Structure 1
Amino acid sequence: MPIDAEKALAAEPRTSRIGWDHKDVQLYHLGIGAGTRPGLADPAVDPGELRYTLESRLQVLPSFATVAGAGTGMAGLASPGIDVDLAAVLHGGQSVRVHRPIPVKGDAVQTSEVAAVYDKGKAAVLVLRTEAADDDGPLWTNDSEIFVRGEGGFGGERGPSGRTPRPATAPDQVVERPVRPDQALLYRLSGDWNPLHADPGFAALAGFDRPILHGLCTYGITLKAVTDTLLDGDASRIRSYRARFAGVVFPGETLRIRMWTATAGNEVRVEVTAAERNDAVVLGDTSVTHS
């Protein structure tokens, strides 16, 4: 069997040393659309964007943890007990929990492991966990949920559904964020070099008529929008962030981001749709917890 759940879960965690500085943070922020603010008469001079782009004022969005050290959260696919066809792999969801604000310049030890293996019948779900810590202690915990089509049915635990009902009330805030036509070309410089996001020929082989945006780019754009809209632009207030990837985004489209604040425990519920495609959902089961 390509996935040996017992062997994968028992494998020793992999460790690596990673580092980053202000240039990596700035490049990531530019890759998720920082630098301009839609709706302003002259968005190029919005001073609020300097906290994402100017080294002397820089803060770090927690979603940066998904690319710090040029990581993509998929290291666990090389673990013992896992031998899968990458063409059958889908990134189903992502969560990040920060233990304290991420520093602008850092050096950390990152530990990667397979935290769970679930049997969904027609597919297996791997939870790949990466944890980072520096000399001052834990920094973040990242969980990537990876669907592997055709690898279920081995008799394992089904695991949690992860689905939460969409709030029945109207959203408290709705904002739109345009995706630049070259957004994927810029975002991939932070470490995800998959040609699916750049090469039309490769995208056609995967069944798309043009390259698609990285799901983690949509993930970052959304967290920035929530931070700017509801948290006074203060990334240090974010405690955790999770999302399920429900559909693709094409560069040049507009993200419509709905936010509900009337939930318990300082939680913002979020849904993201592609405005030009009849509000097709691209991020579902999404929430941000904050102080």
Structure 2
Amino acid sequence: MDIEKIRNMQLGSIEQSYDKRDTILYALGLGFGADPMDEAELPFVYEGNLLCVPSYVNVLCHPGFWAQDAEYGIDWVKLLHAEQEFKMHRPMPATGTLRGEYRVAGVEDKGPGRGALLHQEKELFDAASGEKIATVRSTLFLRGNGGEGGFGTVPAAAEPVPERAPDRVVIIPTLPRQALIYRLSGDWNPLHADPAIARKAGFDKPILHGLCTNGIACRAVLSSYCGNDPARFGGMFVRFSKPVMPGETIRFEFFEEPDRLRFRAIAVERDSVVLDRCSATLV
């Protein structure tokens, strides 16, 4: 891994426009509107009074899979998406044009044979006004690297959720075709659609996108603690533990603290933690 090339990388600005169709399609990919008579979710899937799901900031103005470029020396085949965090500075407009500014905030070297963590940051701005919308951080686990040095500042490790009964439990089923809908919002990786490719990757069937599971967690927080009002949603952090299989039921266990929510997500059918050490802040 070429640490200096990664440190000095310039991805430039990326602009992306999205309209009501894009906003609605993203929400449908997270399962909003599963009950078409649920008027609380209707504003996310109907243009009459359209609202944008806050987690859409994770998807917009994406720089592409730059780690696949051989000049950086990253063993991209063994790369895993480890963590995702976003903070809202103002609610997402229902439609508009955003500008994304990227940087690699740091590389955390775990040592030879132990991998490395790469932390990248995206700041999203309204392209017309220049107002900051959100700050997004992604952590990539480079399993095939390590022992090559690091740089920058890295965030503190996330704390385990409390060892007690949750204050609230939210159950959200996913659809067998969930990944086929969600991928239309921009992640075309065939791992989430083609059974043959999923089998080659070691899965019985295509898996759900990690950022789809992330968005479903955002949906759970919105409905349970924000009254489905995006203006009350401050931000969220998740650690990806295991993939969700489309059609599984996700159980969210929330632990209420004075300044934040802590939570984890469990695939009910396998009793397997799929999101761990998670937190959310409310406005």
Per the normalisation by structure 2, the TM-score is: 0.92
* Contact 1:162–1:285 (CA under 8 A) maintained in structure 2: no
What's 2:249 paired with? 254
Alpha carbons of structure 1 residues 77 and 203: separation in structure 2 relative to 1, 3 Å: same
What's 2:3 paired with? 5
1:48 to 40, 56, 62: 40
* Contact 1:8–1:79 (CA under 8 A) maintained in structure 2: no
2:175 to 180, 183, 193: 180
What's 1:281 paired with? 273
What's 1:151 paired with? 145
Alpha carbons of structure 1 residues 79 and 264: separation in structure 2 relative to 1, 3 Å: farther
- The one-letter code sitting in structure 1 at the alignment partner of 2:4 is E
* Contact 1:5–1:81 (CA under 8 A) maintained in structure 2: no
* Contact 1:273–1:282 (CA under 8 A) maintained in structure 2: yes
Alpha carbons of structure 1 residues 101 and 227: separation in structure 2 relative to 1, 3 Å: same
How far 1:275 sits from its partner (Å)? 0.5
- Any gaps of 5 or more consecutive residues in structure 2? none
Structure 1 residue runs of 4+, over 4 Å off?
A: 73-76, 78-81, 157-161
- Equivalences for 1:1-291 in 2 at 5 Å? 3-36=1-34, 43-69=35-61, 71=62, 74-77=64-67, 82-121=72-111, 122-134=114-126, 135-136=128-129, 137-156=131-150, 159-160=154-155, 162-261=157-256, 263-265=257-259, 267-277=260-270, 279-291=271-283
Cα distance in structure 2, aligned partners of 1:86 and 1:127: 15
Q: Percent identity?
A: 40
* Contact 1:93–1:144 (CA under 8 A) maintained in structure 2: yes
RMSD: 1.9
Write out per-residue CA displacement over residues 77-123 of structure 1, whole angstroms, 9 at most, x where no aligned residue: 26896232321110001111111011011112211221111112211
* Contact 1:174–1:257 (CA under 8 A) maintained in structure 2: yes
Moved more, 154-163 or 55-64: 154-163
- The one-letter code sitting in structure 1 at the alignment partner of 2:108 is Y
Cα distance in structure 2, aligned partners of 1:168 and 1:195: 38
Cα distance in structure 2, aligned partners of 1:131 and 1:23: 24
Aligned residues: 278
How far 1:150 sits from its partner (Å)? 2.1
- Any gaps of 5 or more consecutive residues in structure 1? 37-42
Cα distance in structure 2, aligned partners of 1:140 and 1:78: 26
